[in-house]
Structure 1
């Protein structure tokens, strides 16, 4: 606190001669202590025990920015004040904006006061009156609650009565125990020189009302103006042809969804003071209008409800008139059309699924028939080869053996017959391979592994190489190969056996079959001398044939070899068919 310089006292009146700004608010209690503010500063008013009054600058409160409109003390070290951008509380050297009123108020707060029960009263320049406790809005008084206007100037307190100065008269409300009720209004109808009420004071007998056209002294005995509720009616309803229709049972088509509603409030004077409000369907807020008709040019389909009411000046609202009407749905939104459409769609989907299922079954049957015919033909060919060609080769071998009995070992003919016998035996072995490849009973992986194991053991039986075939495929994977796949796998293994025997110098040769998800992997490994990868071209046509056969059956081949580390091949068959 600091005493203002150049302030002097004449006949008990303290005058501040320094301040160049006008004071906009002052609040002094019964002890002569209070608060006064200009648009830029706040001052403390203090009256000592000696009866002298001082005007002191409050340095603890230094606002900045937007100018102060009103201020009022709240306790010892707290101030409530308003600016053009809202309401603030200054406490503990810190200004805090009270944002909980923002949803109620968009205009300026131009007056702040307290009731006898410490309710904070805010008068706004366009949003009515707010009653607050503990920084929370308890009530919001507007024209719907009896205010003649929401442009308020001042609020004064007379015991349990609120006197609200507006631009359309002086309104009276009782406020007690956190509840309020509307009493009435003084306006030009009661004899005020103007409805523009700027301030009011009172004594035991009179109200002293400051208006835009002068000061009026109003006896408290003067009856408050509480206007009669006007009689309100809906007069007519018209359609898109501007024809009157019976509004007790209104039904519109979806194409002619236009409606005009006319209404009126019966009053014999000051018709311009009549205000109408309406709510459409489930809108929670009332909309105000001065017009006496409402037009709905493009109504949506369905049931609609229109509520309308009226008031004159500060009278209560009339009885709400309710108008119900219906707009028909277009045929494609009616329940029977939607139900029929659903039935047709479900039927069409069912027919399509049935057709596709039957077509798939027919295709599957045709495929099975083709496979069955192919398997039958393969069986016939393999049987014919075994019976006819195999029989002829056996006869040749028997004839050669019979002819050799009559010849000496050094006879050139004997040597020639030995060669022919070898050719016949080799032809018989190749024919057996072909018959095995043709036989559809060998299309599964178990028979393939068994045949390859037999072939490998026979091939390396008279060599120093130990052959092993490991089958790690679970029994539940019943892999099926076609004849081309099975024959190429066999020829690849056959070629690898030949390369291992001729070139590797290995002592062990291992083949492993295993599954990784639905991918078949065949790994081969020999522990021979190996070779550099860039020397693979020097190993003849065998490796080229292996690559070619692998590509023919969509198999990915990978080879790894290095000197002294042996040679490893991996063959990957992706997405193998199994049942």
Structure 2
């Protein structure tokens, strides 16, 4: 420390540069106006339907609001008049609307208009729906009951003609009416006077009233608030309201028990002990407020005359900014001292906040930016600016050398006060400042661990300070090269806030690490501050707002929530500008100080209300996609080519609509829900025929699950994919296959027949030629032998008888050979294929064989019609050989006296030839072993015939051959 600056003490004792200023925090009211989609800025009434959608009546039409977007309903859409006064939903999901032109009913997206015939220039300026789904309205001081066909005026109430001031329903749906100068009446099945208005002054009338679930009634006149409960009627804060100049218009009690009053300038919020007036100065507006409404999620909506619509969610968030005395909204440092005062550092000043009063302090560097404020164990308040460092103690300020750009200050059991300046590290102990050598990075955060060791978060990972020794023992960790902005102990673990990778949960003993990023719900991966509250919840100041985080240390899991039930503004927090103050947590941001209530993180009871808003077919025409809306039938049927769908859905969650997440699944295509996301539509293309059900679920920012919205549909099968068509195709393919096979087989058969015909023609030629040659050659030679035998016989006449006998045998054998040769020649001749010729041959053979015997031979069934039957080649040879063998057996063995040959044709495909004899029959052993009989059966098989031999000893034998004239033969 230089001698010129040593122990420079500035005795200022909270020297004030500006006067004390009364302190009032700004509340967060979300504002919606024409630029956001509101149809007109003069709001009359606000209501809500069963889907959670708000209906806002204005002097320019009606707006519907789902939390993210407005849509309008005006005269162009069918309303009788744009001047709309009331809109109320009944229990059948119809919307009843009163305008200057009459009453309209919105049912299934279609408007039906009713006129109020008796009041041409009047209007129904208020309407309610009771527990029995009856619609009640007020026009020109009269009460009406309204149906879609009839408007009935209530002439008397308890025998008197009433002058109605206002109407309401309580939490049970009971109708309440305020009657001028009379009192409040309730009605279910009869009228009951609940409150007598005798307490009112002569010039007072009840402009609005509200009945809470405990049947406490809050009532406002133009200048007073009254409460009716079990204690009777009493004025609330009468002195306060006497002194205000605003007129009171409307009243509502919120879920916290605060009474809100719309007035000619902003709104009042009062309780038994407090009064607040919200105007433009503290976040609301100076415009008159007529409409007050509390939605399902307990948000308060305020409708103004000329300045649009406001939403107030809760007291979770308040703001301190330049409207309340700060010179600059960029709050860079926050700290509390031992007396509970709050120290505030901005870009150009230091303030102390005490008992609601803000004081600005002098310090040696008034033109420099305050970088950090820190309170040590001795209650010194350290002030670090871009120009220097010092501390307040007991009303004096002491400068610690001229160390500029101190970014972080912490206290160590070993080193005293640790001071992190740009690229330098110092310790301040017992009045001595000492630089710690070998440090080159920028120190941003400190955390003391075991044995006085210090973790230092730098722009390039974490270093460890042990004594005077600096090391980098954590080079293998995923955040080893990130900028470490915050190091905080969490139970027996460490939380590490980075400027680019979100938050890490780190077990220093095991090295286990878990990461939390925007994917898990953080508003930003840029972390500026971390701190744990008394409930174990970690508060994180990020580059886009504030998050609350619950951590499961066993499973190393993060559960991320918004900092406020009503949504978290997108605001950039500042480095380590975070303190706890009683039941609140304060964040220094670029837009002032944001103050949140500390509450235990429990699942709220409010879930988003989800519905499928639209289903569209995607049509591709000439390469361009067009969308066609489809109905919302429970189960819609689409044609096969209608298989490209776009499905839109929307959850109404008015508290924080931007942070609602969705998961969807198409049952029939997808086996699981999609990862959480914020898209509100999904497209499916080229869906296959079948049953489908689209399911979508919404989750509030706190993870509360909505209802499941579904859309079931069926894509019919194309005709070519039906069972009937498939069977038809199978049948057609079968027929085609059979036809092709038959065609190919027919062609093959034609080729075979052609080849066989050619072959047969060649065989016929060969047979004819062979027969002729055989006849001419062999026949002539046998005839010559026979002639020579005759000549030789004449030459030896009267001589040697033995020689003559040999000559006779030669002649006989030659004749027999000649006869056999004739048979052979005939069998190979083409004419032998004629069945008639074959039968004649057999007959002639039998006649010749038996002519010199005692056997009588008969033939039957031989007609010229048999001449038309042509048999395949070789049939003649087999047939003649079978029956020659049979006739020879008759002659040799049967001892028969008669033989009959019968021919018949039972049908075109069967011929029967039967040979009967009345001989002695054939013995069984001869039947078995006779080669002749075997040969006969073999020949019958070769022409695919059936040869039956039936023999009865002593009674004769029947041989029956059955064959087909068209059948194949084996040769």
TM superposition score normalised by structure 2: 0.27
**RCO greater where, 1 or 2, for CA within 8 Å and sep 6 or more?**
2
Report which of the two has the higher share of helix: 1
TM superposition score normalised by structure 1: 0.44
Report which of the two has the higher share of strand: 2
